Amino acid sequence: MTLIMGIVNVTPDSFSDGGRWFDADAAIGHAVELVADGAHIIDIGGESTRPGAEPLTSDEELQRVLPVVTELAARGIRVSIDTMHAATATACVEAGAEFVNDVSGGLADPDMYSAVAVTPATYIAMHWRGLLGRTDSTPDDERARYEDVVDEVRAGLERRMTQAVAAGIPLERIVLDPGLGFSKQRAHNWQLLARMDELRSLGRPLLIGHSRKRFLGDLAGDRDVATSVVSALSAVSGAWAVRVHDVASTRAALEVADAWTSGREAHPGHGAALEPRLEADGEPASAGEQRERLT
């Protein structure tokens, strides 16, 4: 089963929701609604990654996210903390977060790998070549220069994975994210999605974070509709999870994708069955388990 990671931005300047959940109580309430809509994990972020956003200190970030993480974890909700700061990751895991979602892939904070290694958290490493754009004037788009974007992103993720393991994070606790929209031009994003099997060849679960991004709006206009379609295609292509704002529409799309996959698996003689999708621990779920957990 492909999991749904619902997004809650505890920021005043998110590109998508404009600070609607900046208040902790509002963020908690929204997270509970996303779970009711079908989210399996809630990803809490306190620092915007939109172009031109001011970086936060870990202390500032924690003031925003820690009350939300603490309350959601206390309610038994699976929580991911979206942070590039080792101190934030440590505090939030202690408060109950199960995942550390690091869009820098460990490049922003040299202490991130070692901090996560001594926790039970699953580490999500994203590819972002343009990280330096947060500390100098080079636009992120100017860093989006590739001979073969899939080969280069795969190699970059492999380096992040190797370094994380060397720092003590067990391989089975690593998830990879190709970083759609981060130092990627529109065509690069589609190439990464279409060739997801090459990224899955690294042997780790893949998180796809495509929700409401510009490359979808450029194509379809309605970003939520496009997000749902890509969610379904990602599920059929073997994504471990999709990270989205509109959980209800993605859940419906994944139900269709699961029925499609189940139909193919029921008649393997009419076409090769897809490989089973990976769980967070790297073990494949059976088709029956995938269907059961979606209901």
Minimal CA–CA distance to 45: which of 124, 2, 100?
A: 100
Q: Is 213 a catalytic residue?
A: yes
Measured distance CA(228)–CA(212) in Å, rounded: 10
173, 213, 223, 251: which one is catalytic? 213
Q: Is 243 a catalytic residue?
A: yes
Phi first, then psi: what are they for 64, rounded to 5°? -80, -45
Whether 126 contacts 182, CB under 8 Å: yes
Whether 69 contacts 95, CB under 8 Å: yes
Torsion, Cα of 275, 209, 44, 244 (10° steps): -90
Cβ atoms within 10 Å, residue 285: 15
160, 195, 200, 243: which one is catalytic? 243
Minimal CA–CA distance to 259: which of 215, 227, 291?
A: 291
Residue positions annotated with a catalytic role:
213, 243
